[in-house]
Amino acid sequence: MSSVPVAVVTGSNKGVGLAIVRALCKQFPGDVYLTSRDPGRGQAAVAQLQQEGLRPLFHQLDIDDLQSIRAFRDFLKDKYGGINVLVNNAGIAFKVNDTTPFAVQAEVTLKTNFFGTRNVSTELLPLMKPYGRVVNVSSMQSSLALGRCSQELQQKFRSDTITEDELVQLMNKFVEDTKKNIHEKEGWPNTAYGVSKIGVTVLSRIQARLLNEQRKGDHILLNACCPGWVRTDMAGPKATKSPDEGAETPVYLALLPSSADAPHGQFVSDKTVKPW
């Protein structure tokens, strides 16, 4: 088994994820895994970084596919005995002018952004080594969507005692409510992406609390963040930040020094803790 530290970035064949891998290759003292659901796109991205003189490693990972997640988990466990840095970056968003029915957009968006991210966490968080760093890439859209939820939903999503099961039930309820077209009456905002990212931010708060309760002495720090508005296929060419600039906050959280005990369980944007 290798004693080299290891960092993993999901959805990193392009966009913010690729830029996070680039920065980690320069700054993280260990192996850095670029992962992609499509091996061809992943290997092409590895070749691109090799052209820049960097040496990322590659592993297939589709966060929608439990078998793929478990194969990667077993690989990391066998080769490294754990994980030092995990960046949950993979995500999707329908374009604003997409005509796919809203209920379908809700189901598909939640499947990857919330349920996929949760499945990766369920399988990989137990592998986190002491002083490990976990970064869940959420979005400012989560805060905006939270502000547009009913008072009752806002209270639940801000609760310090909400459980993962309760959060999963709420995310499933959103999808079901969109199918019956009663989601607005039930207090939800009209944004599938925003609700999926509420799920990611609240999941991060829950996971951080569980780490406090179950692994207090291991000094693991886990946070959600927004990369900013970044020029990628998702956000388009008018966005204000380059992918490398978008990577700055996730990388800052991924490389918090071993002396740090904060931030933890926070939503961070521009390297600053934001109110939730």
* Residue 227 binds ligand NAP (CB under 6 A): yes
Are the CB atoms for 84 and 166 separated by under 8 Å? no
Site string for ligand NAP, 168-187 (x = CB under 6 A): --------------------
Q: Which is nearer to ligand NAP, 112 or 178 (CB)?
A: 112
Residue 175 DSSP symbol: H
Q: Which of 94, 229, 252, 276 binds ligand NAP (CB under 6 A)?
A: 229
Q: Which of 57, 234, 255, 260 binds ligand NAP (CB under 6 A)?
A: 234
Residue 2 backbone dihedrals phi, psi, to 5 degrees: -80, 140
Q: Annotated catalytic, 193?
A: yes
CB of 106 to ligand NAP, least distance (A): 15
Please list the residues that pair with 221 across neighbouring strands. 133
Rounded to whole angstroms, the Cα distance separating 22 from 121 reads 23
CB of 181 to ligand NAP, least distance (A): 25
* Residue 34 binds ligand NAP (CB under 6 A): no
Residue nearest to ligand NAP (CB): 15
Helix/strand/coil for 223:
strand
* Residue 25 binds ligand NAP (CB under 6 A): no
Q: Which of 17, 132, 189, 194 binds ligand NAP (CB under 6 A)?
A: 17
* Residue 226 binds ligand NAP (CB under 6 A): yes
Q: Which of 89, 121, 191, 266 binds ligand NAP (CB under 6 A)?
A: 89
* Residue 64 binds ligand NAP (CB under 6 A): yes
CB of 111 to ligand NAP, least distance (A): 8
- C-alpha distances (whole Å) from 224 to each of 167, 265, 272 are 16, 7, 11
Strands (E), the chain: 6-9, 31-36, 57-60, 83-88, 128-137, 221-226, 267-269, 272-274
* 2 class by beta-carbon count within 10 Å (0-12 exposed, 13-18 middle, 19+ buried): exposed
Residue 247 DSSP symbol: T
Which positions from 191 through 210 interact with ligand NAP, judged by CB under 6 A? Answer: none
Rounded to whole angstroms, the Cα distance separating 225 from 230 reads 13
Residues assigned a catalytic role: 193
Footprint of ligand NAP (CB under 6 A): 10-11, 13-17, 36-38, 41, 61-64, 89-93, 112, 116, 137, 139, 226-227, 229-230, 232-235, 239
